[in-house]
Structure 1
């Protein structure tokens, strides 16, 4: 069936700071519930992958079984915030975000997608500005080991809510706005934005990777010997904005905040020692635990930095590398 906006109710906004509705754009945002904050009630187990009672108001699953994450759940729950099955990640804003598989090794079938009906159909010939924030999941119990390219927004005339008996949605190898590069930053949210001229009166926005494996790319972000089943990418998304005003949504001027694409952590997950390779001389390095507490800080002499982590608590950590005006964040996990 075609999904419609909920009628006769506003739902509730769950969060530690009270019931506050947040406006992300100064102009009208044509996306209802853009930060996934509004829900009828806190989702409860068993989790059904964006099924009824397991998703934000105004959004639905378009392909397979994406997931909804909210801080209202107990810390460390399967779909909790900041720690969940995909990894450890604070929302870009608020207390919630959504997530989905965006790449699967040797198969183009496992591309999960979410959709929403727009506040108004797009006007043919009008320029629209779309933006959203994404993050590569890593370090959770599901061990997504890769990051993928081509996450984007596809506008459609119709959108049907996916059911378990349906076949996978055909990939169009097209989206009005998408990122062609692999977004492998597992700590910081990355802004993806773009503009397009509407050629139809589109009524729905579908988020996900709309490109098959011949067009999309993926990089390994966690080095761990395992089965091919785990060679997949999982992407978080938050704070979606669509406007006719070029200043109505955050618009990127290019990818910022990366210090050297050759910086690598090895092994990841780690047990006793961690190697941070490719850091430039004099770069400031700080490591935070899952609660945001500083665990280690120092300066790099260049080359490989070796850290003895055998006596550190097991769990997720974030490495922040700062060099002059550049900043990069990476995640790693300590296991038994």
Structure 2
């Protein structure tokens, strides 16, 4: 059965999801509001449990909160005023801060927290956070990301030079965030593999992999603000999505086919490919798609949200082979890898193999899913075994010839004299040999041909006496080198009373088993000689008792 592949799609969006229902946030303390004590200096993220730096980290992500109003200037960790300028929180009274660029190459800071419940395989989650650039920093960067893992990830490096965590986050904002006045939503939809129980936030690229822009704003005088890119993080969220919108359409199609998708129950619609939620595909209730590979589509409405996965079945590469010829008695076995397919042969067989032992056109149709079928055929011919048959030894009349013919389809010939034709013209006495062969087998034969002087004489007595005395009781046709005869005898009324085609048989004077009375009978005789010449005779025969 074909099913959707629960793979990770890397999503990044800049819009609020209208009509999407979400369950409880799996991130505790998502806005960094709760703290064990008010922050008094940098690097105190751990005061906002369960948030912390990754294991191995030497760098200093910050906790900032409005409770820290007693500190001023470059020592302030307050909200909205602090050592990094003026930034009101998106909600509540706190947020966290991290560096994404630093004078020391590739230095990175990360926020990390356990989820209060592990993700469930196959479920779809909305993963998001809000990000804003400090208004006192000189630089801005792209690639702000969120990385969901089964277990916590660690960070390596030396003091003051912690290296990036080199992974590809499931959520990554590809654009440079330069806004210092408005919080930017970074997030997307994530198809869980199952078991993910931690979230890590930061920039997961090297300096060379990032785009760095000058913010073109007056940067502050505190510490290193003139050489950094520093961002505040607020309202981190991982929630299960609830989709209520009904979407219809073909969910399994063949490669090259299209599917008409239709959503209902809303007033407005927005169709997106889950791999690029920034690209609006349609704002109509329906969408015609022709994907090259399996894709999940999301449609946002003003009331509900839904998604549908269109699975694309690639062409099945199977080949019965080229048309072929078999020898009589041989078989051809076509065996196809079973896979998750159904089979139908031209003879009604539903097995994944067939044994072919006869001439014909054979085809196999493979069905994949409910709508995709693929067919191939093969033409099989059967090659007869060669037969060299020259007949019985024979005689021919002097001056005549006989043609020895062994012609067959697809056969090669070799005669005793070295010739290779299908026939041989013989006019001299001798023993003649031929071998017939093809790709299957070979066969040979010999014949003796005797050349005689022929008189072409035929003798038929003009009277006989079938009285049982053993003398002249049977009427025979006699002559030299006669191959066949045809003798017909008629009574005086023209009625046929005897007919014979075998020179070795004669007439015993009977008709239908009864001896005829004495009388005169007419006859017609045709004799064929060994060389093919014929002689025709007619006359009268007396039957005497």
After TM superposition, the score normalised by the length of structure 2 is: 0.37
Moved more, 149-158 or 215-224: 215-224
Aligned to 2:35: 39
Query: Aligned partners of 2:174 and 2:120: how far apart in 1?
Result: 27
| Higher Rg of the two aligned structures | 2
Distance 2:45 2:184 in 1: 27
Q: 150, 153, 156: which is aligned to 1:157? A: 150
Residue 234 (structure 2) pairs with residue 242 (structure 1): no
Q: How far 1:95 sits from its partner (Å)?
A: 0.2
Q: Once the 2 structures are TM-superposed, how far is the Cα of residue 92 of structure 1 from its aligned partner?
A: 0.3
The reply on whether 1:118 has 2:115 as its aligned counterpart is yes
Matches within 5 A, 1:51-130: 55-62=47-54, 63=57, 64-74=59-69, 76=72, 77-104=75-102, 107-108=105-106, 110-130=107-127
Cα distance between partner residues in 1 of 2:156 and 2:205: 21
Q: Deviations 1:167-188 (Å, cap 9, x if unpaired)?
A: 7254324111121000001111
State the 4+ residue runs in structure 1 displaced beyond 3 angstroms: 160-167, 222-230, 252-255
Note the 1:1-336 alignment, pairs <5 A. Answer: 27-44=23-40, 47-50=41-44, 55-62=47-54, 63=57, 64-74=59-69, 76=72, 77-104=75-102, 107-108=105-106, 110-139=107-136, 144-159=137-152, 168-222=162-216, 230-245=226-241
> Higher relative contact order by CA 8 Å / sep ≥ 6: 1 or 2?
1
- Inter-partner Cα distance in structure 2 for 1:80 and 1:229: 17
CA drift of 1:230 comes to: 3.5
User: Shift in Å at residue 122 of structure 1?
Assistant: 1.6
Instruction: Tell me how far apart the structure 2 counterparts of residues 94 and 170 of structure 1 sit (CA, whole Å).
Output: 30
Query: Do 2:99 and 2:109's aligned partners in 1 also have CA atoms closer than 8 Å?
Result: yes
Equivalences, count? 218
Judging changes above 3 Å, is the alpha-carbon distance between structure 1 residues 163 and 118 closer, same or farther for their aligned structure 2 residues? Answer: same
In the TM superposition, residue 50 of structure 1 has moved relative to its aligned partner by: 2.6
The verdict on how the C-alpha distance between 1:181 and 1:246 changes in structure 2, with shifts beyond 3 A counting, is farther
SS of the residue corresponding to residue 115 of structure 1 reads strand
Cα 1:57–1:161 shift into 2, 3 Å = farther
Alpha-carbon distance, 1:48 to partner: 4.8
- Tell me how far 1:80 sits from its aligned partner: 0.7
Cα deviation for residue 199 of structure 1 reads 2.5
Q: Specify whether residues 85 and 175 from structure 1 end up closer, same or farther in structure 2 by C-alpha distance, changes over 3 A only.
A: same
Whole-Å Cα distance in 1 between the matches of residues 149 and 120 of structure 2?
13
With over 3 angstroms needed to count, the CA separation of the structure-2 counterparts of 1:162 and 1:37, relative to structure 1, is farther
CA distance in 2, matches of 1:230, 1:127: 41
Q: Secondary structure at the match of 1:38?
A: coil
How far did 1:162 drift? 6.8
Distance 1:99 1:38 in 2: 16
The runs of 5 or more residues in structure 1 that have no matched partner are 1-24, 256-336
Q: 1:70·1:80 contact (CA, 8 Å) conserved in 2?
A: yes
Conserved in 1, the CA contact under 8 Å of 2:135 and 2:217? no
Instruction: Calculate the TM-score normalised by the size of structure 1.
Output: 0.58
Does the CA contact (< 8 Å) of 1:129 and 1:246 recur in 2? no
Maintained 8 Å contact 1:105/1:229? no
Task: Compute the displacement of 1:242 (Å).
Answer: 0.6
User: What whole-Å deviation, never above 9, does each CA across 1:220-270 have from its counterpart, x for those lacking one?
Assistant: 0146799999432001000011111158xxxx9759xxxxxxxxxxxxxxx
Task: Please say if residues 90 and 183 of structure 2, whose CA atoms lie closer than 8 Å, have aligned partners that are also in contact.
Answer: yes
Asked if structure 1 preserves the Cα contact closer than 8 Å seen for 2:45 and 2:61, the reply is: no
Gaps of 5+ in 2: 1-20, 244-275, 280-545
Q: Is the Cα–Cα contact under 8 Å of residues 149 and 182 in structure 1 kept in the other structure?
A: yes
Q: Which range is displaced more, 206-215 or 178-187?
A: 206-215
1:158, CA displacement in angstroms? 2.4
